[in-house]
Chains A and B, each alone.
Chain A
Amino acid sequence: MLLSDTDETAILVSARFTFPPNVNALVLQKAQPPPGWAFCVFKIVSVDAMGKATNLRDDVASAAVRAVNRVSRMTGRGSGTVIGGRVGIKISPDLVTSLSRGRSVLLVSGTNGKTTTTSMIVAGWGVPVTTNQTGANMPAGHVAALVESTSAQVALETDEAWLPATLATTGPRVVVLLNLSRDQLDRANEVRQMAERWRKALETHDDPRLIVVANASDPLVVYAAEVATNVLWCDVPTTWLADAVSCPKCTLAISHVGSQWHCSCGFAKPNNITTLLGDELVIDGVTVALDLSMPGEFNRSNAAMALTALHSVDVKLDEAVVRINAVQSVVGRFSVRRWQGHVLRLLLAKNPSGFEAMLATIVNDESDVWVAINARIADGRDPSWLYDVPFERLRGHRVYCFGDRRLDLATRLDYAQVEYVIVEDHAQLPVAKDTISLLANYTAFSDWLEKSEP
């Protein structure tokens, strides 16, 4: 409860917030709250604690994470994960490290499929798992997740750029490297640099027990992972290879023949494969009965890598696959929602490779398709990537254009000779009939998830 509340400070005591057992109260310095906020914390001034804490600083930081996130949720601002994490790291910079100690951490990174694969690992493990379900995949989100649950099993989706730092701070048992392709180039600049940074991080990582589960079909992932001591190579279908035409080692052309690839410099697809996904999934010589509820070839690849990771921490494959098969949707992705009488299937597609994969799930039946595009910070400010998406495949459909950048989308569709409607006013939408596929990039997807209903 709020014990005292003046203009400058507030004192929180543990009746209302779950503090560690040795912490009684927090004294907070307040800041001017933004409109709509009940109050706003500037910093934590002091802590009233009892007993002898082994690491008081971390306990306080953890308590602060919980308290701030709860306030953030109570005031209705966001899902309350990132802001508390930031406060916690400010108090104790090594918080991720101390919260990870003694736990089995699995990290999942890559351009596409992070959230889905992490969710599959959580579902497949069959025990309570600490995870960052909201997609807050940088240190602040990791801290929030590690504080909220005490489970010894941890699965963290990790932003590609933060993977090197997170490897060092969490000391994971397993890291899953899904794929690397162009995404948010205004933020990440160049995808080959990302592969280089992953490689450096794995090369200098000093824990010989680390297991790397890596996609052998993606040359950039192989370039990053080949320096690691223990790699479980997964041969899974990977359609987007436009970013790996020139060899990451020598820049010459990589030849792709069927599912094989090699460069004249000797860099080639690894042949010591652990996991093979064709019509059947085989992990370590054992056939696994993969039969997903979620659509898409890419989700089969995600599941194969999730199962390989679980297998490496001794989860029984035959039991894990049953649990993964049952997953229907992941944080709204692939879910069927209702909005103003329309029935929508929500598909998240953030970048060219993701879009290409999602377009492949749209049935060729002349149905209407809705597409929503934003270019906010979380999406990447530059929508040029729309020209890397094979929208020509939507010829025969009428496409309704939504989102902040609907004119960029309409222009792209116009040049692709796809029939389009720029939606300025919802009254112009046709009367609802069948389920409509709605493809949206990151923030547009969140907007639609929020305004639609189950």
Chain B
Amino acid sequence: MTTICVLYPDLLGTYGDGGNGLAIYERARRRGLDATLVQAGLNDEVPDAHLYLLGGGEDGPQSLATDLLRRSSFVSRVRDGAHVVAVCAGLQILGLTFCVEGNEEFEGLGLVDVVTGRGERRSVGELATRVGSQLLVGFENHGGRTTLHAGVEPFGSVVKGRGNDALHDGYRTKNIWATYAHGPVLAMNPWFCDEVLATVTGRELEPLASAADLLYQERCRVLSN
């Protein structure tokens, strides 16, 4: 059985981020895969899971979530190979440092060799990035500028919007996908959702038709113009 865990929806769920857990669980369920969706709130232990989902949040909740994760089994589980999809604040939390109000260098979890400083201005708007042969579409709303240190691969190259630094968006390690496209990025990009699901379950997946196909086509059309 594959366990999908949405971490701290009460802290990191500002931008409809619950949609990611829902979408991947639903796409597994419709294919008859044995999957379960759990949520871990800020008073809960981090459960054992194959895939963790981290969303976006405001400064206070972001630093609280980081401190809670630091003290939990999350870091060792991810070092041992558990998968993570991290968006927005989640992307920053996994890195070495990030900025919050009153602290220019808040210590992250150090799972990935990236640092996030304060951007010149807030990045708010539609985000489209090229990931291999695919387009990733979504919406970003953050004040960070993320720098990847040597050896860390970006997840996509920016077509529209800002992402990390107007050139690249997010990062991709063996078991982590990270993007500034917040909220329901897995719901809007069925190919991305299925890539994560296939990797986490170790299976080849049959195509699955859903309303998301129409939405994805429409957003690609709008954002590549």
Contacts and interface: CB of A to CB of B under 8 A. Distances in A.
A129 interface: no
B42 A384 contact: no
Nearest to B64: A251
A411 B15 contact: no
Interface centre among B59, B187, B218 (most CB of A within 10 A): B187
Interface in B189-204: none
A422 B26 CA distance: 20
Interface stretch (A55-63, A136-144, A413-421, A430-438): A413-421
Contact of A186 (B60, B141, B214): B141
Contacts, number: 102
Nearest to A385: B16
B214 A388 contact: no
A422 B42 CA distance: 38
Given A185-B141, A242-B10, A245-B42, A410 B60 contact: no
B90 to A, nearest CB: 14
Interface in A390-445: 407-408, 410-417, 420, 422
A410 B213 CA distance: 11
B164 interface: no
B162 interface: no
Interface string B107-146: 0000000000000001011100000000000010100000
Given A252-B64, A253-B42, A382-B141, A185 B214 contact: no
Nearest to A414: B211
A185 B15 contact: yes
A41 interface: no
B14 A182 contact: yes
Nearest to B142: A189
B170 interface: no
Nearest to B67: A251
Interface in B150-195: 182-184, 187-188
Nearest to A413: B211
Contact of A246 (B26, B60, B211): B60
B38 interface: no
Interface centre among B14, B15, B43, B126 (most CB of A within 10 A): B14
Contact of B22 (A242, A245, A415, A422): A415
Nearest to B139: A382
A199 to B, nearest CB: 14
A386 interface: yes
Given A410-B214, A411-B211, A384 B16 contact: yes
A200 to B, nearest CB: 14
A19 to B, nearest CB: 43
B60 A192 contact: yes
Contact of B212 (A246, A382, A411, A422): A411
A185 B211 contact: no
B11 A422 contact: no
Interface residues on A, range: 20 to 34
B205 interface: no
Interface centre among A192, A251, A253, A385 (most CB of B within 10 A): A251
A240 interface: no
Nearest to A249: B60
B13 A242 contact: yes
A377 to B, nearest CB: 12
Contacts of A415: 19, 22-23, 26, 187, 212
Contacts of B61: 246, 251
B15 A384 contact: yes
Interface residues of B, number: 37
B7 to A, nearest CB: 14
A186 B125 contact: yes
A186 B215 contact: no
Contact of A253 (B16, B43, B214): B43
A259 B182 CA distance: 32
Contacts of A410: 211, 214-215
B95 interface: no
Interface centre among A253, A411, A413, A417 (most CB of B within 10 A): A411
A220 to B, nearest CB: 11
Contacts of A422: 211, 214
A176 B29 CA distance: 47
A381 interface: yes
A388 B9 CA distance: 11
B63 interface: yes
A385 B13 CA distance: 10
A209 B85 CA distance: 52
Given A189-B141, A387-B22, A410-B214, A382 B15 contact: yes
A190 interface: yes
B64 A384 contact: no
Contacts of A388: 13, 16, 18
Contacts of B64: 246, 251-252
A407 B139 contact: no
A381 B18 contact: no
A412 B188 CA distance: 9
Contact of B211 (A192, A253, A385, A407): A407
A413 B26 CA distance: 12
Nearest to B190: A411
Interface string A290-326: 0000000000000000000000000000000000000
Interface in A174-216: 182, 185-186, 189-193
A253 B11 CA distance: 9
A246 B18 contact: no
Given A253-B42, A382-B139, A384-B183, A411 B210 contact: yes
11 contacts: A185-B141, A186-B124, A189-B122, A253-B10, A382-B15, A385-B15, A387-B16, A388-B18, A407-B215, A408-B215, A412-B19
Interface of A: 182, 185-186, 189-193, 242, 245-246, 248, 251-253, 381-382, 384-388, 407-408, 410-417, 420, 422
Nearest 10 A/B pairs, CB to CB? A384-B183, A387-B19, A387-B16, A384-B16, A414-B211, A251-B60, A245-B10, A407-B215, A410-B211, A382-B139
Given A251-B63, A253-B43, A411-B211, 5 more contacts: A190-B59, A245-B11, A411-B215, A414-B212, A422-B214
